[in-house]
């Protein structure tokens, strides 16, 4: 399989023999494999540029294999896959959906747009995943689903969460935007909830600019998922020759990506092992080479509970204080390294206060970590010099 990394800046000769020269490392540099353009050209010249063409089929099959789940529907984004999940749950105004506060807005928007109330639960201080010990207390007779986010692709405590969901007869939805390639006790993330959503946004491990998928693991949702994604029609059955005309069957929308984008995505999926190996190398280098600096400065690094295999989606450092996080970000920026914060809490955001409710006990951990977390650049095309510069820059920073 041909591989190509984006060209990176040539080394700048040092002036005084010590200075390695100015280097500028962005937080993300979209990685391409070299196959995208050829596949997209093929889609264009075949004339099959609408949704559900041959590249969509191949990309969905590839994903199905990675996820160990037979039913994968490509969508235009993870946001749209979450919206599709919310439609499938038949939510009524006043219904409730339990989710972490420490997540992207789409996780909450999708359900709030259907009139449901997001009920925000705090995260665990070690994994920054929804704290399974707080989930049950947030459940009421109006709860219709539990939405989990595998932060950084490290699995939530799915055995405990699934047990709670089963006890209350409600489904689990995995927002698996970070988790493609991750495992929980040997099972792929994205295969554990009744429904799961994937993102192929430019910032994710596998990208096509904008894209996503809905994974339907519970057979009960399979037929309707296909219909809601196709403007509420049974057009998918019509294309398979199962009906002789298609009709308006249900309330849906249009969530199909063009086959040109699916062609882009297929190129990335075919290079998945290579992408993951490159990312794992960078993640491991950070983890190893920043360990001493972190412990000397009271900085926490990602923690992996037993049974979790993570897909190297992001690398973060938890500084002892918000001021410490700001100082690190600013210092790295001066050295040309773009480090960033991550999610701001949803439960106390303007829209969260209007549309949501906070579970018992509030979200103190979320509030604390949101301001003290710093993410380092992590992308498959990072070269050794860039990696060394980042590691060196962090190691030179006095965190206290
Ligand atoms: C990126 C992300 C999304 C949204 O993905 P899009 O494909 O951009 O819509 C949703 N949830 C989480 C946790 C994400 O990281």
Tokens of 158: 């799915």
pLDDT at 9 over 70: no
- 72 and 60 Cβ atoms separated by less than 8 Å: yes
Average pLDDT over residues 361-379: 97
Write out the DSSP string of 144-187: EEEEEE-GGGPPP-HHHHHHHHHHHT--EEEE-TT-TT-EETTE
pLDDT at 197 over 70: yes
Domains of the chain with CATH codes: 36-270 (3.40.640.10), 272-395 (3.90.1150.10)
pLDDT at 11 over 60: no
pLDDT-derived band at 2 (thresholds 50, 70, 90) equals very low
Which amino acid residue places its CA nearest to atom 14 of ligand 1? Answer: 177
Quote the ligand 1 centre to 85 CA distance (angstroms): 14
Tokens of 70: 């037979």
pLDDT of residue 19: 56
**Tens digit of each residue's pLDDT (9 = 90 or more) over 136-186:** 999 999 999 999 999 999 999 999 999 999 999 999 999 999 999 999 999
- How many CB atoms lie under 10 A from the CB of residue 246? 17
- 157 and 129 Cβ atoms separated by less than 8 Å: yes
Q: SS3 string of 226-281? A: HHHHECCECHHHHHCCCCCCCCECCCCCECCCCHHHHHHHHHHHHCHHHHHHHHHH
pLDDT at 365 over 50: yes
- 390 and 376 Cβ atoms separated by less than 8 Å: yes
Quote the ligand 1 centre to 234 CA distance (angstroms): 28
Quote the ligand 1 centre to 199 CA distance (angstroms): 6
Average pLDDT over residues 210-234: 97
> Residue 18 contacts by C-beta under 8 Å, 6 or more apart in sequence?
none
pLDDT of residue 145: 98
pLDDT of residue 1: 41
Decide which of 73 and 398 is more confident.
73
Quote the ligand 1 centre to 179 CA distance (angstroms): 11
Quote the ligand 1 centre to 242 CA distance (angstroms): 34
pLDDT of residue 400: 64
**Tens digit of each residue's pLDDT (9 = 90 or more) over 301-356:** 999 999 999 999 999 999 999 999 999 999 999 999 999 999 999 999 999 999 99
Which amino acid residue places its CA nearest to atom 15 of ligand 1? Answer: 177
Quote the ligand 1 centre to 371 CA distance (angstroms): 20
- 400 and 294 Cβ atoms separated by less than 8 Å: no
**Tens digit of each residue's pLDDT (9 = 90 or more) over 241-289:** 999 999 999 999 999 999 999 999 999 999 999 999 999 999 999 999 9
Which residues are paired to 299 by β-bridges? Answer: none
pLDDT-derived band at 22 (thresholds 50, 70, 90) equals confident
Cα-based distances in Å from 340 to 33, 143, 319 = 26, 34, 13
**Tens digit of each residue's pLDDT (9 = 90 or more) over 64-110:** 999 999 899 999 999 999 999 999 999 999 999 999 999 999 999 99
Residue with tokens 């999940």: 85
pLDDT at 45 over 70: yes
Which residues are paired to 342 by β-bridges? Answer: none
- What is the rounded distance in angstroms from the CA atom of residue 200 to the CA atom of residue 59? 12
Alpha helix segments (H runs only) across 271-399:
272-289, 291-296, 322-334, 350-355, 364-372, 384-396
* CB neighbour class for 219 (10 Å; exposed up to 12, middle 13-18, buried from 19): exposed
Quote the ligand 1 centre to 254 CA distance (angstroms): 18
Q: Which of 83, 104, 340 to mutate to test the pocket of ligand 1 (most atoms within 8 A of CB)?
A: 104
- What is the rounded distance in angstroms from the CA atom of residue 177 to the CA atom of residue 137? 26
pLDDT of residue 220: 97
pLDDT of residue 3: 42
Ligand 1 atom closest to residue 103's alpha carbon, by position in its atom list? 13
- What is the rounded distance in angstroms from the CA atom of residue 122 to the CA atom of residue 148? 12
* Rg of the chain on CA atoms, in Å: 22
Angle at which helix 78-88 crosses helix 222-229, to 10 degrees, equals 120
Q: Which of 123, 175, 255 to mutate to test the pocket of ligand 1 (most atoms within 8 A of CB)?
A: 175
User: Which residues form the pocket of ligand 1, taking CB atoms under 6 Å from any ligand atom?
Assistant: 77-79, 103-104, 106-107, 149, 175, 177-178, 199, 201, 212
- What is the rounded distance in angstroms from the CA atom of residue 385 to the CA atom of residue 289? 14
| CA 222 distance to own-chain centroid | 23
Q: Which of 27, 76, 77, 78 to mutate to test the pocket of ligand 1 (most atoms within 8 A of CB)?
A: 78
């Amino acid at each position: 399989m041909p591989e190509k990394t984006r060209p990176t800046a040539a080394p700048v000769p040092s002036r005084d023999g010590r200075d390695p020269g100015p280097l500028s490392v962005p937080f993300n540099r979209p990685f391409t494999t070299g196959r995208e353009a050829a596949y997209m050209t093929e889609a264009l010249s075949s004339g099959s540029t609408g949704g559900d063409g041959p590249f969509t089929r191949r990309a969905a099959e590839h994903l199905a294999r990675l996820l160990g789940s037979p039913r994968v529907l490509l969508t235009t984004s993870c946001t749209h896959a979450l919206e599709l999940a919310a439609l499938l749950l038949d939510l009524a105004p006043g219904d409730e959906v339990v989710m972490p506060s420490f997540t992207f807005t789409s996780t909450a928007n999708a359900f709030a747009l259907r009139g449901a109330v997001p009920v925000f639960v705090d995260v665990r201080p070690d994994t920054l995943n929804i704290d399974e010990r707080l989930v049950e207390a947030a459940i009421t007779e109006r709860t219709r689903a539990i939405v989990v986010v595998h932060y950084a692709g490290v699995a939530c405590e799915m055995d405990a969460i699934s047990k709670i969901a089963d006890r209350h007869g409600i489904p689990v939805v995995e927002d698996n935007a970070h988790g493609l390639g991750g495992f929980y006790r040997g099972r792929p993330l994205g295969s554990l909830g009744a429904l799961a959503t994937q993102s192929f946004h430019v910032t994710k491990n596998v990208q096509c600019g904008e894209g996503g998928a809905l994974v339907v693991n519970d057979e009960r949702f399979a037929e309707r998922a296909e219909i809601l994604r196709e403007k509420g029609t049974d057009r998918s059955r019509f294309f398979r020759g199962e009906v002789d005309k298609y009709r308006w069957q249900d309330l849906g929308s249009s969530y199909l990506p063009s086959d040109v984008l699916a062609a882009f995505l297929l190129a990335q999926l075919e290079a998945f092992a290579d992408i993951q190996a490159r990312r794992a190398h960078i993640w491991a280098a950070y983890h190893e080479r920043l360990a001493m600096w972190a412990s000397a400065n009271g900085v926490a690094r990602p923690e992996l509970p037993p049974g979790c295999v993570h897909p190297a989606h992001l690398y973060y450092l938890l500084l002892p204080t918000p001021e410490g996080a700001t100082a690190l970000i600013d210092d790295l920026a001066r050295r040309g390294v773009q480090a960033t914060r991550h999610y701001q809490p949803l439960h106390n955001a303007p829209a969260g206060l209007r549309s949501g409710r906070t579970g018992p006990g509030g979200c103190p951990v979320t509030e604390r970590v949101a301001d003290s977390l710093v993410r380092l650049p992590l992308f498959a095309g990072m070269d050794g010099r860039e990696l060394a510069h980042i590691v060196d820059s962090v190691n030179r920073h006095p965190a206290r």
